[in-house]
Amino acid sequence: MGMIEAILLTVITAATPLVIASLGELVTERSGVLNLGVEGMMVMGAAIAFAMTQVTGSPYLGLLAGIGGGALFSLLFGFLTLTLVANQVATGLALTILGLGISGQIGEPYVGVSGIKLPQIVVPVLSDIPFFGPVLFRQDLVFYLSITLVAGVSWFLFRSRTGLKMRAIGDNHASAHALGIHVIRTRYLAVMFGGACAGLAGAQLSLVYTPQWVENMSAGRGWIALALVVFASWRPWRVLAGGYLFGAVSISQLHAQAFGVGIPSQFLSALPYAATIVVLILISHNRRVTLINTPASLGKPFVPDR
């Protein structure tokens, strides 16, 4: 039981940034914007959060800085794609490269510096429950935020009036504009929310997952988050399930090596990305389901009538 508990704890830690980043991208895509810059925003959040923590000594301020850094970086994406109507795919890829470069510059003074880990929040009484207590009720703040975000995003999209308007924009921005819905403003807010979530996910990497700064420490998780949104059919609760599935695959390499499984470490390291490709291939076979769930205006530019 102790070994299973340890495995579950590592899976939760590995899955949390995937869930948070995927939720942010889900909201962004529901508004009709395709942001391929999630990877760059994640690594920016990781660098800014770690630097702020080192300067202030408070991981909570670092967490806020990571969220703010991701949101500000997403504003650049929004300005280029929503105001200047630049190509969303090309802009997202360019900002990913830019984020990797700037984050390396920000984090350079902190290479090899010991980090300050975000403390655990112990829930009284519940944390003493055998097995489930340590797994669910002795976690850091980001874990609890991830579960809250899943429930909040689900309610917002499918139970609130504003969420209905956002989904209408994602499905047909021209019709939404004709009904008086502010398409550009809504998309700006959605992009900023996605960037804030990516920054929070990156902050979790440098303050919880591995409390230190390593260049390019997002290690492709932003791309996995993008695939996870498609895997979840743009549904928040499916994102939670998919995030933990991919988290389990990601962490399997460490446990396989610990158990002495005779599989090359390079293959195990590539396993999460191979699983991503397999999932996308399987999803692409069912085009009907994909077309039904995909926002019809996804990736299409919108220029309001003047």
Note down the domain range covering 99: 2-293
Note whether residue 123 is domain-resident.
yes
Q: Is residue 251 part of a domain?
A: yes
As to burial, measured by CB atoms within 10 angstroms (0-12 exposed, 13-18 middle, 19+ buried), residue 57 is exposed
- Dmax (CA) of the chain: 66
For residue 304, is it within any domain? Answer: no
pLDDT in tens, the chain (306 residues): 577 888 888 889 999 999 999 999 999 999 999 999 999 999 999 999 999 999 999 999 999 999 999 999 999 999 999 999 999 999 999 999 999 999 999 999 998 888 899 999 988 888 888 878 888 888 999 999 999 999 999 999 999 999 999 999 999 999 999 999 999 999 999 999 999 999 999 999 999 998 999 888 998 899 999 989 988 889 999 999 989 988 888 777 666 666 666 666 667 677 777 777 877 777 767 666 666 778 989 999 998 875
The pLDDT score that the predictor gives to residue 259 is 63
| The pLDDT of residue 127 | 84
Residue 305: inside a domain: no
At 220 the pLDDT is 87
Q: How many CB atoms neighbour CB 51 within 10 A?
A: 22
φ, ψ dihedrals at 213, nearest 5°: -105, 125
> Backbone phi, then psi, for 139, in 5-degree steps?
-120, 170
User: From the CB of residue 90, how many other CB atoms can be counted at a distance below 10 Å?
Assistant: 12
Model pTM? 0.92
Residue 299 domain flag: no
pLDDT recorded at residue 1: 59
Total count of domains within the chain: 1
CA distances from 242 to 2, 126, 237 (A): 25, 26, 9
> DSSP secondary structure string, 247-298?
HHHHHHHHHHHHTT--S-HHHHHHHHHHHHHHHHHHHHH-HHHHHHHS-TTT
Structural domain includes residue 302? no
Q: What is the pLDDT of residue 252?
A: 75
Residue 120 has phi, psi (to 5 degrees) of -75, 150
The span from the first CA to the last CA of the chain, in angstroms, equals 65
Q: Which domain CATH number covers 25? A: 1.10.3470
